[in-house]
Structure 1
Amino acid sequence: MIQLNVKDETSRLRAVILGTAECNGPVPKVEDCYDPKSIEHVLAGTYPKEIDMISELEEVAQVFKKYGVRVYRPEVIKNCNQIFSRDIAFVIEDKIIRANILPNRDEEVEAIQYICDQIDIEKRIILPEDCHVEGGDVMPWGDYIFIGTYSGDDYPELITARTNMDAVIAIQELFPEKTVKSFELRKSNTNAKDNALHLDCCFQPIGKGKAIIHKNGFLVEKEYQWLIDFFGKDNVFEISKDEMYQMNSNVFSISEDVIISEKSFTRLNTWLRGEGFTVEEVGYAEISKQEGLLRCTTMPLIRD
């Protein structure tokens, strides 16, 4: 049996689900894309090749191996994009919560069923159907759970709006002892530079009480300011609109002081090292063309 344990984003990682790019399928049609960045690359003829994404994910698997992390992979489904394992489920404390994701992605959930079968059935949670949520919007952080959301009237028209207030309320009810703090995110179906697809696309807490943030990803300035005050201005690394577009906030912590980051994030990686972090650099530029990066492709099961 797998004994789940995830209380925050940075405690020492012991077990994780890492997405797979095997049998990823053909280049999607524009109307089948889930985000504006993928559309950009489909139209430009620069959509990532399967062989390149397989090799990028393998690089991360090797980093996990180096740190003794147990790595699970989804069962391969032919012609199915299974790269972003964070979208389909997430763990808080000792519970795994299945994401109510875009309906045509149900197959991806089936591909991790063999892992779920090793988890106590009482600890497997499926939220009511009207609760929409994806793991990229949900961050356990000690006594808090940070959740990205969108509550505008145009929610149904926005394929980039993935987590609604019904889900925020349901998660608060599941964890009454925690403070659930929600943040309204800026959404765009057409402009990737104005779209915070998930909370981890514009914000992420990292070890040593620090955080990475992009102000314009937040619709409500006082919610952005709350995070600045919570972490302290000197502990926050502010990223530009272009750095958000390149996914600089979507790194991944193996522990309080070890972070996996994209090798092209020169400004961020220099700052991280200056703050005493060990930075494990990998190439993830092809995967990032689908508006997701390191946190999106990983779903922690056990942290010490």
Structure 2
Amino acid sequence: MKLNIQNETSRLRAVILGTAESNGPQPTIEDAYDPKSIQHIKAGTYPIEEDMVKEMDAVVKVFEKYDVKVFRPKVIEDYNQIFSRDIAFVIEDKLIKANILPDREREYEAIQHVIKQIDDDKVILLPEECHVEGGDVMPWNDYIFIGTYSGEDYSDYITARTNMDAVIAIQELFPDKTVKAFELRKSNTDPKENALHLDCCFQPIGKGKAILHKNGFLIEKEYEWLVDFFGKENIFEITKDEMYNMNSNVFSISEDVIISERNFTRLNTWLRENGFTVEEVPYAEIAKQEGLLRCSTMPLIRD
């Protein structure tokens, strides 16, 4: 398989979509990885497997409609394998394995049937000190946007997933690209003050537009850089509640086709007004784990 990912919006041809099958029991609060999951565990509203399987099936139907080749992970019994973006990501013709939380190593093993189809020299393992997850990494033509956290208290945050060592390593891997890092706001306890990944507060979409949430960025100047880069008139600024509900975590099939959650009324209206075709799916149960459509997809080939 010849990988090709230059950006977030070129026509999608092949993708890995996670799976909610055999998702396992509800985690304990101690085992949860993010504040939103903890909130739903405490409230008794944590999503159940049957609902999440249905939500992911709806996404498969959209991919089939657009003739996209869909790979799924091998199902591991009683194991959360929804968020395939966390475990690896593709830039150009290289698949980079994410150095993820150790408990999640088996998720990578479950996509070996796909990785075996890629030339060995195109599968990159970063040094151990490089922490990175795919939700923080966005190829955007000549740029690679990366969400990070470089505070001295990095190790105190279960929500800090990508460090500066990884940013430097990715710049070295792609010397012809401009790597632009953004410091993200982190909280272990308040999901409305936590940008788990860059795609939880920002995503470029087709037609030169972007979805953005100012409070997700620790440094205002970095947020302003994005506003200048895309142009204020091309940005859909989401509220704190919309960020909490993952409005920036939609997924582009092409420059003008976007899969979005059906409850994102304000966003979906704006997208249609700006000439996008919006394929609405139910994904509100999966969103309770602080991840949505971009988090659960790993694009392999775009035109």
TM category, shorter: over 0.9
Cα displacement string for residues 240-277 of structure 1 (whole angstroms, at most 9, x for unaligned residues): 00000000000000000000000000000000000000
Cα displacement string for residues 208-235 of structure 1 (whole angstroms, at most 9, x for unaligned residues): 0000000000000000000000000000
How many residues are paired up? 303
Which residue of the partner structure matches residue 226 of structure 2?
227
State the AA in 2 paired with 1:280: E
What's the CA shift for 1:178?
0.2
Q: How does 1:50-61 map to 2 (within 5 A)?
A: 50-61=49-60
SS in 2 for 1:247: coil
| Pair 1:157-2:156 in alignment | yes
Instruction: Provide the C-alpha distance between the structure 2 equivalents of 1:35 and 1:29, rounded to a whole number of angstroms.
Output: 12
Cα displacement string for residues 186-206 of structure 1 (whole angstroms, at most 9, x for unaligned residues): 000000000000000000000
Instruction: Provide the C-alpha distance between the structure 2 equivalents of 1:153 and 1:193, rounded to a whole number of angstroms.
Output: 22
Which residue of the partner structure matches residue 207 of structure 2?
208
Q: How does 1:34-49 map to 2 (within 5 A)?
A: 34-49=33-48
Which residue of the partner structure matches residue 31 of structure 1?
30
SS in 1 for 2:3: coil
Which residue of the partner structure matches residue 194 of structure 1?
193
Which structure 1 residue ranges, 4+ long, deviate > 4 Å from structure 2? none
What's the CA shift for 1:164?
0.1
Question: Identity over aligned residues, as a percent?
Answer: 77
What's the CA shift for 1:207?
0.0
Q: How does 1:7-26 map to 2 (within 5 A)?
A: 7-26=6-25
SS in 1 for 2:204: strand
Which residue of the partner structure matches residue 79 of structure 1?
78
Instruction: Provide the C-alpha distance between the structure 2 equivalents of 1:205 and 1:22, rounded to a whole number of angstroms.
Output: 30
State the AA in 1 paired with 2:190: N
What's the CA shift for 1:283?
0.3
Instruction: Provide the C-alpha distance between the structure 2 equivalents of 1:26 and 1:154, rounded to a whole number of angstroms.
Output: 31
State the AA in 1 paired with 2:6: K
Q: How does 1:1-304 map to 2 (within 5 A)?
A: 2-304=1-303
Instruction: Provide the C-alpha distance between the structure 2 equivalents of 1:74 and 1:213, rounded to a whole number of angstroms.
Output: 30
State the AA in 2 paired with 1:26: P
Q: Which runs of 5+ in 1 are unaligned?
A: none
Cα displacement string for residues 118-164 of structure 1 (whole angstroms, at most 9, x for unaligned residues): 00000000000000000000000000000000000110010000000
State the AA in 1 paired with 2:197: H
SS in 2 for 1:250: coil
Instruction: Provide the C-alpha distance between the structure 1 equivalents of 2:14 and 2:261, rounded to a whole number of angstroms.
Output: 21
Instruction: Provide the C-alpha distance between the structure 2 equivalents of 1:219 and 1:265, rounded to a whole number of angstroms.
Output: 25
SS in 1 for 2:152: coil
State the AA in 1 paired with 2:271: L
Q: Which runs of 5+ in 2 are unaligned?
A: none
Normalized against structure 1, the TM-score is what? 0.99
Instruction: Provide the C-alpha distance between the structure 2 equivalents of 1:194 and 1:117, rounded to a whole number of angstroms.
Output: 39
What's the CA shift for 1:86?
0.1
Instruction: Provide the C-alpha distance between the structure 2 equivalents of 1:103 and 1:128, rounded to a whole number of angstroms.
Output: 14
